[in-house]
């Protein structure tokens, strides 16, 4: 995750609406530019309802670490997903070994499980 020093005065102006709400500084970005940016960054805009207290806590944590909170949340979710995928792969491998499927398994399935297990860790 990229860390950078946040200017609290600038952040307060954005949060308070002094920045970002002036008609003279508004420009509509073409949908194609928005899609191109998302595609280049492998991102997809989603909407999720979170408790206000959770959002405020995440913002305080990000501020403490001097990072923007949305990239921090992306990092948090990425780490959680990788960890969970790793755990699932370990469980599947363990179940496969305990059920004696090693004799019945195919090379392609074994390679897939091994490959996915490695990618979940990295």
pLDDT, averaged across the chain: 85
Other CB atoms within 10 A of residue 59 CB: 17
Half-sphere exposure of 44 (CA within 13 A, CB side): 2
Q: What local confidence, expressed as pLDDT, does residue 20 receive?
A: 79
- Could you state, in order of their start, the residue ranges of all structural domains in the chain? 8-121
In this structure, are residues 74 and 68 in contact, taking their beta carbons and an 8 Å threshold? no
Give the predicted TM-score (pTM) of the model: 0.56
More confident residue, 57 or 6: 57
**CA-CA distance, 35 to 45, in Å (whole number)?**
10
pLDDT tens digits, residue range 12-63? 888 888 887 888 777 788 888 888 888 898 988 899 999 999 999 999 999 9
């Amino acid at each position: 995750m990229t860390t950078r020093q946040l200017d609290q005065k600038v952040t307060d102006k954005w949060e308070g609406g002094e920045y970002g709400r002036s008609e003279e500084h508004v420009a509509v970005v073409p949908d194609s530019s928005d899609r191109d940016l998302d595609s280049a960054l492998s991102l997809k805009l989603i909407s999720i309802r979170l408790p206000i207290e959770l959002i405020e806590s995440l913002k305080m944590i990000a501020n403490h670490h001097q990072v923007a909170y949305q990239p921090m949340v992306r990092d948090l979710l990425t780490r959680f997903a990788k960890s969970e995928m790793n755990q699932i792969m370990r469980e599947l491998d363990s179940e496969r070994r305990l059920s004696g499927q090693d004799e019945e398994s195919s090379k392609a399935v074994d390679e897939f499980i091994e490959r996915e297990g490695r990618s979940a860790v990295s």
